[in-house]
Structure 1
Amino acid sequence: MKIKMLFPVLLTAAIAVSGCVSNKKYNDLQASYNRLDSNTRELRGKYLLTERNYAVASDRIKSLDDQLASERANNKQLQSALDKCLSSNGQGNINISKLVDEINRSNRYIQELVNAKNKSDSLNMVLTNNLTRSLSAQEAQGVDIQVLKGVVYISLADNMLYKSGSYEISDKAGATLAKIAKIITDYSNYDVLVEGNTDNVPIVQKNIRNNWDLSTLRASSVVQALQNNYQVDPKRLTAGGRGEYNPIADNSTPSGRAQNRRTQIIITPKLDQFMDLIGKAPENQPKQ
């Protein structure tokens, strides 16, 4: 991995500059590297778990769609047979009664399938409603919430969280983070990844080397605020930075760069919580 290759280079550079490295300094660097390597493996594991959960949920919805299409085709055939039966003088009342019973059973099964599919389709709405319930209209303008493939993405503009050109949390960020923490606490068994993103303008700060540093430091600041100020369990939290390399808009315009300067809070349900949410979909389903 690039991280493993980078550590010896950094260590060599440190030796060249200082002439020698104390055992304590070396051990600190080794421990820092070990933590970074462990976090990378953990994040990779969570990514693979999310992919698996999505595949299972997608297969479930596809299976329901297939069953629904098959049952509707069967119902159509039954109705056609009934129509022929009614128009034919040679058919008895018993056959007609059996066909009506089969059509009724088919209609009931179709309704069950429709309800099951609607519950799956309602998952996005359930999650979005829960996530936005605590935000005012003004706060919601700087917050973008999406549910994609069973994963919740809360995207916050940089000016909502940080001091200008810094990774320090601003005073005004407290109210928003408190509400985000409430959402995270509501889903206490979910994993949470805080991911920093920047535009492509190079950072000019003595203590920040580049946009990689800035994005990672910002994510770390949010993680620590959630832990220290809002008592979110740190075992659930992961901080990561993607620098300028995950843009969602064109960096050649001011508005595009503003969109790219964001922090994403990614709430990942495990498979059992995903299926439980489907069970909590709204009772009133749209008729089809």
Structure 2
Amino acid sequence: MRKTVLVLSALALTATSCVSKKKFAELEAKNKETQDLLNSCTVKLNSCLEEKSGLNATLAALQSENENLKKNNSDLINSSKEMTVLTTKGAQNLEKSLESLREKDLKISRLQDALTKKDSVTLALVTSLKREVGIDDPDININVEKGVVMISIADNLLFKSGSYDVSDRAKGVLGKVAKVINSKPDFECMIEGHTDNVPIKNAVLLDNWDLSVKRSTSIVRVLQNDLGVNPKQLIPAGRSYFIPLNDNDTPENRAKNRRTRIIIMPKIDQFYDMIEKEMKNMSK
């Protein structure tokens, strides 16, 4: 009996042992499958977390870019408004500048007209002088310099050497000049005496300045006293030897430098009056 029990126990134990191994294998297989699934999920989770992190970074960058775009758009709108204001002001300023230029052009045109009139009067004066005085005498030169009429008369035609007494021959030439001056009562006449650089000094003359001035005043007296020129039109001046026509290095050149210039010109105040009159016409 005991043997029987032992045999049965052994069989039972064997049967029980076989069932446990099978179940264990199933559980072990199930555990491995679960572990594999867990590992796969973990990998997917990590991948999703990384992707989420990247998406968050992208989202943050896009949000930042969106804010910048909003700010830029706002700045552009403000700049556009400012540019509109500036453009309007610029157009107004440009129009003012153009108007100012038009006014200046008109003023210049008026002044040019005044100068043209003055030049016309000067040309007529030169023509009149050349007709009265004549242009064949080499000792007399009539031309226009710096807008005024100049009559240059050689020293030997007017005075003796070192003298300021006007010769009789000179009075004939001065008479013709006086006729033209008397026909232009609105003009002034400056008489300039010029000498060479040879020093002069005697009981009457102190130096070349003195000689040039005395020659000028001598001619002024002839024009006033003998030829009836209004003294208000006459201006005597002496230039000594400081404005030569040529170098004072030869007798011929010194002779050319000894001369008297008679400058006939509009009165400066009247010339400005003429310009002012033109300017007033612009405002009408």
Fraction of identical pairs, as percent: 46
Cα pair 2:189 2:262 within 8 Å, conserved: yes
Q: How far apart, CA to CA, are the structure 2 residues paired with 1:264 and 1:224?
A: 15
What is the count of residue pairs matched by the alignment? 172
Change (3 A) 1:272 1:259: same
Which one of 97, 117, 132 corresponds to residue 134 of structure 1?
Answer: 132
In 2: Cα distance, 1:273 partner to 1:182 partner: 21
Q: Which moved more, 1:196-205 or 1:213-222?
A: 196-205
Query: Pairwise mapping of residues 192-203 of structure 1 onto structure 2 (< 5 A)?
Result: 192-203=189-200
- Aligned counterpart in structure 1 of residue 231 of structure 2, from 226, 234, 246: 234
Give 1:192 shift.
Answer: 1.4
Task: Indicate the residue corresponding to 1:184 in structure 2.
Answer: 181
Q: How does 1:110-129 map to 2 (within 5 A)?
A: 122-129=120-127
Q: Does 1:172 align with 2:169?
A: yes
In the superposition, the TM-score normalised over structure 2's length comes to 0.52
Deviation at 1:221, TM superposition (A): 0.3
**Maintained 8 Å contact 2:119/2:147:** no
Alignment pair present for 1:225 and 2:225: no
Pair 245,276 (structure 1): closer, same or farther in 2 beyond 3 Å:
same
1:107 paired residue number: none
Q: CA deviation at 1:182?
A: 0.6
1:80 corresponds in structure 2 to none
Q: Is the contact between residue 215 and residue 242 of structure 1 (CA under 8 Å) also seen in structure 2?
A: yes
Which residue of structure 1 lines up, in the alignment, with residue 253 of structure 2?
256
SS in structure 1 opposite 2:126?
Answer: helix
The alignment yields a C-alpha RMSD, in angstroms, of 3.4
Who is 2:203 aligned against? 206
* Mapping for residues 5-84 of structure 1, pairs under 5 Å: 63-64=108-109
Q: Deviations over 1:159-200 (max 9, x none)?
A: 111122200011111110100111111111211111111010
Paired with 1:247 and 1:60, the residues of 2 have a C-alpha distance of: 40
In the TM superposition, residue 157 of structure 1 has moved relative to its aligned partner by: 0.7
**Aligned AA for 1:226?**
L
Corresponding residue of 1:154: 151
Larger radius of gyration: 2
Report what 1:40 is aligned to.
none
Contact 1:150 1:269 in 2 (8 A): no
Give the Cα–Cα distance (whole angstroms) in 1 for the partners of residues 147 and 168 of structure 2: 32
TM-score, with length taken from structure 1 = 0.52
| Matched letter for residue 133 of structure 2 | L
Higher helix share: 2
